[in-house]
Structure 1
Amino acid sequence: MKQRAKSALVLAACLTAGLWIIYFLTLPFQSTLLPGLGILPRQLQGLDGILFAPLLHAGTGHLISNSLPLLAFAFLVLLEGLRRFGAVLAICWLASGIGVWLFGGGLTIGVSGVVFGLFAYLMVRGFYNRDLMQILLGGALFLIYGSLLWGVLPTAAGVSWQSHLFGAAGGVVAAILLRRPRTGPQTGPENRNGPAGWRTRS
C-alpha cells in the first residue's frame, strides 16, 4: 500500500506539473493557441478542443486554482490503479468536453471540468461499490471541497459552469460503469465483507 501511494503521488504530481510545463511552453503563443485549440461550442472547428482544451489555461491564477484539487483528486483515484484512473479520466474528459461543445456559451479552456469529474467520482463511487471506507472518504471530501459544487451552477460570469456540470456527470457515469462486480455474502473466516455484502478495508 505504501508503494502504491508513493507511485500515485508521483503520477498525480507529474500530471499537474505537465499542465504547468504546457502553460509556460505555450505562453508566447496563447493569442492563437487558445482560440485555435479551445472548445468553440457548436462549431466544427471547435471539436478538437474537446481533446486539447483541458491542457490550456488563460493565466497562472486559472491554473493555480485547478492545480491543488487536481493533484489531490488524481492521487486518490490513482490509488485504485493506473488503468482505472485512465478510464475515469477519459470519461470525465470527454463528458466535460462534449457537454461544453453542445451547450457551452463561448470559448472554453481549462482542466476544471476534469477536476469536477474526478471529484464527483470520488464522492459517489463508494455507494456503487458498496464500500464503507470509500463512502467515508467521499464524505470527508465533501466537507473539505463541497463548496466546489456551486461551480456546476451559472453563478459566476466568465466561468464555464457547463464544463463543471458535465464533468461531474462524467464522474458519476464513471463510478457506475466501473463499479466493482457484486458478490453474494460468504461464510467462514475468509469473509471480509461487512453486513449485507458491504466491503470494508483491512
Structure 2
Amino acid sequence: MEKDFKYTNAVMAFPLFFVLSLWLVYWIEIRFHYNFTTNGILPRTFSGLQGIVWSPFIHANLSHLYHNSVPLLVLLAALQYFYPQHSLVVVVAGILVSGSLTWLIGRSSYHIGASGLVYVLVGFVFLKGILTKYFRLVALSLTVVLVYGGMIWYVLPKVDDAISWEGHLAGLLTGFVFAILFKTPEYRTKAKYDWEKTDFDPSEDKFMQRFDANGNFVNLPEPPIEEIPVAYFSSDRVVNYELVVTKENEPKPES
C-alpha cells in the first residue's frame, strides 16, 4: 500500500502539551517550594517504583528542563507526523519500560528527568526509519544522527557522573526494541507512470513491444490488409466489385 504523510494539528499540539506539562510541574515545584526529587526512580527500592511514572516530569533545575524540552519538541513532532499510529504508545510505553529498566540497573541514587524518553524517541525514530527503507524515513534517521548523534556518549558510564547514563541506556534500548516490534505500513512512493504500477504488463505496452527478448529494437509487424466490399450505384444499374484498402486509408463516410 502507498502511504501519505499528512499534517494534522496533533503534530504540534501533542509535543507542546507534553512539554508544557513538564514546565507546569517545575513551576509548581518553584512556586510552592516543593522538592519532587524524592519522587524520582530510586533503583531496587519499593518506594522508588513511583519514579517510573513521575521521573520524566521532574527536573533538577531550569537548565536541565530546557535541554530536555528542545529535543522533545522536535522528536515528538517527528514521531506524530511520520508514525501517528504509534506516537502515544511509544511515549507511554517508553516511559514505563525505560523507567523499569532504570529501576533495575541504575545506581543507588534518584534518577529524574525526561532524558530517558528523549533516548527512547531517538532510538525509535532512527532504527525504524532504517528498517522501513523508505527514502523519507531514512533521511529522517540520518537527520537524527547528525543532530543527536553526540548523545550516544552519554549512554556510557563514567562520562559524566552527574547524569543518569543508566536511564539513557535504558531509553535507547527501549526505542530500538519498539522499532523492531511495532509494525508499520509498507511505505512506497506513489506510482506516476504506468510502468511503476504493480499491474503493469510489458507485453501490452506499445513501447515495450518494440524490443525483443534480448532487448534489440525491432519494427512492429505491418497491420493486416483487410478487404472491404464496396458497392457503387448508378441510375441504371448496380456495379459490385471489391477494393483492397487498409484501415489507414479507409474512406470516411460523408455527412
TM over 0.5: yes
Match of 2:77 in 1: 75
- Counterpart of 2:50 (choices 48, 55, 68) is 48
Alignment coverage as a number of residue pairs: 187
SS in 2 for 1:4: coil
- Counterpart of 1:180 (choices 166, 181, 184) is 184
Per the normalisation by structure 1, the TM-score is 0.84
| Structure 1 residue 79: Cα displacement | 0.7
Match of 1:126 in 2: 129
Provide the rounded CA distance (Å) in 2 between the counterparts of 1:188 and 1:134: 24
CA contact (8 A) 1:22 1:55 kept: yes
Change (3 A) 1:42 1:26: same
Provide the rounded CA distance (Å) in 1 between the counterparts of 2:132 and 2:42: 37
Change (3 A) 1:108 1:181: same
Provide the rounded CA distance (Å) in 2 between the counterparts of 1:79 and 1:63: 24
Q: Which has the larger radius of gyration?
A: 2
Per the normalisation by structure 2, the TM-score is 0.67
Higher helix share: 1
| Structure 1 residue 149: Cα displacement | 1.3
Provide the rounded CA distance (Å) in 2 between the counterparts of 1:143 and 1:127: 14
| Structure 1 residue 132: Cα displacement | 2.3
Is there any run of 5+ residues in structure 2 with no aligned partner, and where? 188-193, 199-255
Is there any run of 5+ residues in structure 1 with no aligned partner, and where? 192-202
Percent identity reads 30
Cα deviation, 1:120-142, whole Å, max 9, x if unaligned, reads 11111023223222112111121
Match of 2:156 in 1: 153
RMSD after superposition: 2.3
Match of 1:24 in 2: 27
Cα deviation, 1:4-58, whole Å, max 9, x if unaligned, reads 2543012211211111011101233433x321x2111000111111011111111
CA contact (8 A) 1:126 1:134 kept: yes
CA contact (8 A) 2:42 2:51 kept: yes
Change (3 A) 1:82 1:132: closer
Provide the rounded CA distance (Å) in 2 between the counterparts of 1:128 and 1:179: 10
| Residue identity opposite 2:93 in structure 1 | I
Match of 1:195 in 2: none
| Structure 1 residue 178: Cα displacement | 1.1
SS in 2 for 1:158: coil
Higher strand share: 2
More relative contact order, 1 or 2 (CA 8 Å, 6+ apart): 1
- Counterpart of 1:135 (choices 135, 138, 141) is 138
| Structure 1 residue 99: Cα displacement | 1.4
Change (3 A) 1:123 1:138: same
| Residue identity opposite 2:148 in structure 1 | Y
Provide the rounded CA distance (Å) in 2 between the counterparts of 1:82 and 1:137: 15
Provide the rounded CA distance (Å) in 1 between the counterparts of 2:196 and 2:134: 19
